[in-house]
Amino acid sequence: MLKIQRSSNGQLVLVLSGQIEEQHITELEAQMGVGTNRSSVVLDLKEVTLVSREAIAFLERCEASGVTLKNCPAYVREWVIRERRGG
C-alpha cells in the first residue's frame, strides 16, 4: 500500500509512505501533473519501506527530468544509480 500526501509551498511536495509498486506509477504521474515544471516537484521518500524494480526505473526517470528525491533511503539511491548506469 502507498500513501501520498500532497503539499505545496512554491514547490509541489509529495510525501510517500509505504510500498511503491508498478500500479502506483500512474497515480504518482497524475499527482505530479502533466506539463508541470519537474524541477519544482519533490518526492519525499523518508517513509518508503519497499520499492519495486518498475518503481526504481520510474524514480530514475523522475530524477533525470529534474524531480528532487528527498530523504531517499540508501538502498533506493543505490538502485537508482544502478538503473541510470544501465543495470
Domain assignment of residue 40, given as a range: 2-84
Using an 8 Å Cβ cutoff, are 40 and 11 in contact? Answer: yes
Angle formed at CA 76 by CA 70 and CA 81, multiple of 5 degrees: 95
3-state secondary structure 51-75: ECHHHHHHHHHHHHCCCEEECCCHH
Q: Which three cell numbers stand for residue 11?
A: 514547490
Q: How far apart are CA 16 and CA 58, in angstroms?
A: 14
Q: Tell me the pLDDT of the chain (87 aa) as tens digits.
A: 999 999 988 889 999 999 999 999 999 999 998 767 888 999 999 999 999 999 999 999 999 999 999 999 999 999 999 999 986
Our count of domains for the chain comes to 1
| pTM for this prediction | 0.91
- pLDDT for position 10: 84
Q: How far apart are CA 29 and CA 55, in angstroms?
A: 12
Give the CATH number for residue 47. 3.30.750.24
- pLDDT for position 87: 67
